[in-house]
Amino acid sequence: MQTLHYRTTDYFPESWWRRKKGILGEIFRRAEPFRLQVIYTQIDRDQQQRPRFRDFRFQTGPGVYSYPASTVKLPAAILALEKLRDLGIAGLDMHTPMYINPLAGINTGVHQDASAASGLASISHYIKKIFLISDNDAYNRLYEFIGQEAFNRRLWENGYTDVQIRHRLGLPLHEEDNRHTNAMYFKQHDRILYEQPAAYSELDFTSRRDLAGKAWRTHKGRLEESPMDFSIRNRLPLMHLHEMMRSIFFPAAVTNQQRYRLTEGDYSFLYRCMSQYPTASEDPVYDHQQYHQAYCKFLLYGGSQQAVIPPDIRIFNKPGWAYGFLTDTAYIADFGNNIEFLLSATVHVNHDGILGEDQQAFEEIGKPFLKALGELIYTIELERPKPIIPDLSRFQP
């Protein structure tokens, strides 16, 4: 999927990492066991501020599976906003209170949300929670609003034919359960604006065989001594994730097929949510000790509790972490130094091959690697000449 706005290269220069010490060089040199994939996009502007892209890719072939974890929440947020736009119902928008009926044996209902200042759930509030702290229930409610079949068909229409969004997150449900989605309605004051019945997806997914690890822990803590089978779990290749980021930050620079049906207001809302810190949020409000400034900022800051992100730097991103897979995709802008770039990476870290026992490896290997990778690319950008200074006002708070 290319336009006149960008060209690609499969060559991620070895000189960028070969002599690097520490975790960065180690993982690049042992890329295969770490299932490392990286995509870095340089952005140059012409006299009319139109972007020209140059992509650098590392190990992004189609054969390596990476569990996307919470990165699937990015397309969920996009498609939920797009569905509201497509419905075209007067008075119905992202802020309209929504009420979700329970689905017996599968998921609870929602008639209030204590984390919202209004006490009520809405699409906008769920999207905020998705990007602020990567809330699983918020994603599940958007999954139910979009519907499994519509979710996948729309992404396939965009050209992301290898994507399979098959399940909710954080719930131990069977494959069949995730085909069912709850009934819901949207109501403003005492007037119901939209009702959506419970639905069942009859979508046929292409069969696949994706394995990882040598053993894994079930949600009940039982050890299964065989590789974990991801064949009926979500699939979102890093290349597709990176293209989604390009599409929402540069909608005029991608093909009509890749462009989403969103308004400028929708884009502005996404940009604000993707770049806001939990410590800056007033609705919802979070414990700053647990959900600190860099809680979801892995590239460049490693999710460190001690990180202090300068006001000139704004990171628009969506990370995901589970079963040893750690992924982050970001558009990073530095308004003080007139820098902008896209960077996506995924790495599989695990001390003993037992999936589900990964938190220590995330903290000791995965997050430090993504921090170092972000620093590497940021330094390259600082040193790279830019004939035209980019106008980044679209992305400023």
Over range 19-46, report the average pLDDT.
93
Question: Is the pLDDT reported for residue 176 higher than 50?
Answer: yes
Task: Provide the token pair at 138.
Answer: 């918020």
132, 211 Cβ separation under 8 angstroms: no
Q: What is the rounded distance in angstroms from the CA atom of residue 237 to the CA atom of residue 179?
A: 22
Residues 6+ apart with CB under 8 A from 311: none
Most confident range (mean pLDDT) of 26-30, 31-35, 60-64, 268-272 is 268-272
Q: What is the rounded distance in angstroms from the CA atom of residue 328 to the CA atom of residue 221?
A: 27
Question: Is the pLDDT reported for residue 62 higher than 80?
Answer: no
Question: Is the pLDDT reported for residue 3 higher than 60?
Answer: no
Total domains in the fold of the chain = 1
Q: Is residue 164 part of a domain?
A: yes
Over range 258-277, report the average pLDDT.
98
Give residue for tokens 């975790």. 23
73, 57 Cβ separation under 8 angstroms: no
pLDDT band (50, 70, 90) for residue 5: low
Q: Is residue 375 part of a domain?
A: yes
CATH for 134: 3.40.710.10
Q: What is the rounded distance in angstroms from the CA atom of residue 344 to the CA atom of residue 244?
A: 11
Q: Give the range of the structural domain holding residue 154, as residue numbers without chain letter.
A: 6-395
Q: Is residue 266 part of a domain?
A: yes
Which pLDDT score, from 0 to 100, does residue 10 have? 63
Over range 133-143, report the average pLDDT.
99
Task: Provide the token pair at 129.
Answer: 């929670």
pLDDT band (50, 70, 90) for residue 351: confident
Q: Is the peptide bond before 284 cis (omega within 30 degrees of 0)?
A: yes
Beta bridge partners, 41, equal 55, 342
Q: Is residue 1 part of a domain?
A: no
Measured in degrees and rounded to the nearest 5, phi and psi for residue 7 equal: -125, 160
Over range 7-27, report the average pLDDT.
82
SS3 54: strand
Which pLDDT score, from 0 to 100, does residue 1 have? 46
Over range 378-386, report the average pLDDT.
96
Q: Is residue 269 part of a domain?
A: yes
Residues 6+ apart with CB under 8 A from 366: 298, 321, 326, 347, 349
Over range 212-238, report the average pLDDT.
91
Q: Is residue 263 part of a domain?
A: yes
SS3 362: helix
Beta bridge partners, 54, equal 7, 42
Q: What is the rounded distance in angstroms from the CA atom of residue 308 to the CA atom of residue 378?
A: 16
Q: Is residue 132 part of a domain?
A: yes
Kindly provide the b/e burial profile for residues 318-332, where b requires at least 16 CB atoms within 10 angstroms of the residue's own CB: bbbbbbbbbbbbbbb
Which pLDDT score, from 0 to 100, does residue 321 have? 96
Q: Is residue 358 part of a domain?
A: yes
Could you give the C-alpha distances from 254 to 216, 244, 249, 277, 355, in angstroms and in order?
Answer: 40, 10, 10, 29, 37
Residues 6+ apart with CB under 8 A from 354: 213, 214, 215, 216, 217, 223
Question: Is the pLDDT reported for residue 136 higher than 90?
Answer: yes
Over range 351-361, report the average pLDDT.
84
Over range 123-138, report the average pLDDT.
99
State percent of the chain over pLDDT 90.
Answer: 87
